[in-house]
């Protein structure tokens, strides 16, 4: 028996339905109960013995989303699934990837250990904050990139005099990939971060005068870095400024910052749902469902998915 089964945690129902539609499948029946004391209880309502199970769950806050995925993996293992793939559109805690000061946890490694120990056979995710997180796992990790969907979106816009900007040194690799495929020049913003969720622009390396600029990043949290980057580019003569990010956390007043900024449009994917109050005329959602659906199909059929690593 080699049936493909798709299930979703509570954090990714919106995306799982679109992925299932791409695959001409249905999201499986999964019962989630929260007891009076707050404990989470998971049960598969259908037989998954011998099946190829894909569990879709983004790991944005609250932390219960992580627990729910772990319990789903354990329940699938105990139900004798043939293989369990954790599909994690947004891998939370990825920014805590190193010991950069004394007495701190490498939290992204802890998450990787939990997923592996609980029984996941492989991981399918998109735009990790740093690529080396893949090395925290002792199981296969398929790392997709949002550029697969964003490049097509921006090619259709046919932007002239385009320059791609990296909002900081850490995002240079991503921005360079966009610049190369969009046949555009690359500029780099030298950013300083004195403490978490606070940043300012030191300088801009490259010319943006009379250019349309695309700022590419993997996530937006409070929005300060992106808005400050756009402001610095505008002050240096940029024309229209566009931005894209894979994971729209949009914490606190991030949407208000974007609405009041010089950014003409922010394109995001649907790895994290935009909740009421976080929507804006400036924010355009570009779905990643087809990319994840194709990756799931090829994984199930034991085919290469390297063409999706754009």
CB 118 within 8 A of CB 69: no
Q: How far apart are the first and last CA of the chain?
A: 33
Sort strands 185-195 and 198-205 into parallel, antiparallel or unpaired.
Answer: antiparallel
Kindly list the catalytic residues: 191
* Torsion, CA 9, CA 118, CA 288, CA 292, rounded to 10: -110
Rounded to 5 degrees, φ, ψ at 177 are -65, -40
Q: How far apart are CA 147 and CA 126, in angstroms?
A: 10
Residue 27: DSSP 8-state: B
Q: How far is CA 143 from CA 65, 182, 255, in A?
A: 20, 21, 28
**295 phi and psi, to 5 degrees?**
-65, -40
């Amino acid at each position: 028996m080699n049936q493909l089964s798709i299930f979703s945690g509570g954090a990714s129902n919106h995306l799982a339905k679109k992925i299932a539609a791409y695959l001409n499948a249905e999201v499986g029946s999964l019962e989630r109960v929260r007891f009076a004391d707050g404990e989470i209880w998971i049960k598969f309502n259908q037989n998954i013995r011998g099946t190829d199970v894909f569990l879709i769950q983004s790991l944005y806050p609250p932390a219960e989303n992580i627990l729910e995925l772990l319990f789903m993996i354990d329940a699938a293992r105990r139900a004798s699934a043939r293989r369990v793939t954790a599909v994690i559109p947004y891998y939370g805690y990825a920014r805590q990837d190193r010991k950069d000061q004394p007495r701190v946890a490498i939290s992204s490694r802890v998450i990787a250990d939990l997923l592996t120990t609980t029984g996941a056979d492989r991981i399918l995710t998109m735009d990790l904050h740093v690529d080396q997180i893949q090395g925290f796992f002792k199981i296969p990790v398929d790392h997709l990139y949002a550029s697969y969907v964003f490049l097509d979106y921006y090619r259709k816009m046919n932007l002239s005099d385009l320059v791609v900007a990296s909002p900081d040194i850490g995002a240079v690799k991503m921005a360079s990939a966009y610049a190369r495929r969009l046949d555009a020049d690359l500029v780099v913003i030298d950013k300083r971060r004195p403490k978490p969720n606070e940043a300012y622009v030191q300088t801009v390396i490259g010319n943006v005068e009379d250019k349309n600029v695309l700022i590419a990043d993997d996530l937006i949290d409070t929005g300060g870095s992106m808005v400050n980057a756009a402001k610095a580019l505008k002050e240096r003569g940029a024309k229209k400024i566009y931005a894209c990010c894979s994971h729209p956390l949009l914490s606190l007043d991030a949407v208000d910052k974007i609405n009041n900024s010089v950014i003409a449009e922010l394109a995001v994917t649907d790895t994290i749902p935009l909740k009421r109050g976080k929507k804006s005329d400036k924010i355009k959602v570009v779905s990643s469902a087809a990319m994840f659906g194709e990756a799931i199909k090829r994984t199930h059929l034991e085919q290469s998915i390297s063409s999706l690593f754009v």
